[in-house]
């Protein structure tokens, strides 16, 4: 599957998660996340492809900026923003199904 790379891509020590037992941030999802996953695979693939690409791109830039303190804060903020947007997008889909 071509998207598997993008799914793995945002997983890393710099993802921002600290615990190993975080739950998927999507509403009513109790999937335990492994390592630094942003959300469980089922919900990750509900994120629009464009947004997934943005998460991946922002994560890459965040990693690239790690050694440059001046640019790191901006890269980190952008990454946090696209992650939040991805979670929001899935929540909207999930909640739209509830009658």
Residues that bind Zn ion (CB under 5 A): 24, 26, 29, 31, 40, 43
**Shortest reach from residue 74's CB to Zn ion, in Å:** 29
Residues near 21 by Cβ (< 8 Å), separated by ≥ 6? 32, 33
**Shortest reach from residue 75's CB to Zn ion, in Å:** 26
**Residue closest to 34 by CA, chosen among 47, 46, 21:** 21
By C-beta, is 47 or 82 nearer to Zn ion? 47
Helix and strand numbers (H, E) in the chain are 4, 0
**Shortest reach from residue 86's CB to Zn ion, in Å:** 12
By C-beta, is 31 or 61 nearer to Zn ion? 31
């Amino acid at each position: 599957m071509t998207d598997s790379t993008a799914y793995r891509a945002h997983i890393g020590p710099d993802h921002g998660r600290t615990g190993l037992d975080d739950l998927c941030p999507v509403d009513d999802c109790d999937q335990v996340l492994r390592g630094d996953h942003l959300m469980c695979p089922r919900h990750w693939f509900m994120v629009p492809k464009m947004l997934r690409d943005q998460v991946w791109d922002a994560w890459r830039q965040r990693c690239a900026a790690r050694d440059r303190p001046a640019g790191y804060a901006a890269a980190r903020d952008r990454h946090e923003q696209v992650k939040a947007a991805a979670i929001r997008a899935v929540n909207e889909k999930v909640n739209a199904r509830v009658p």
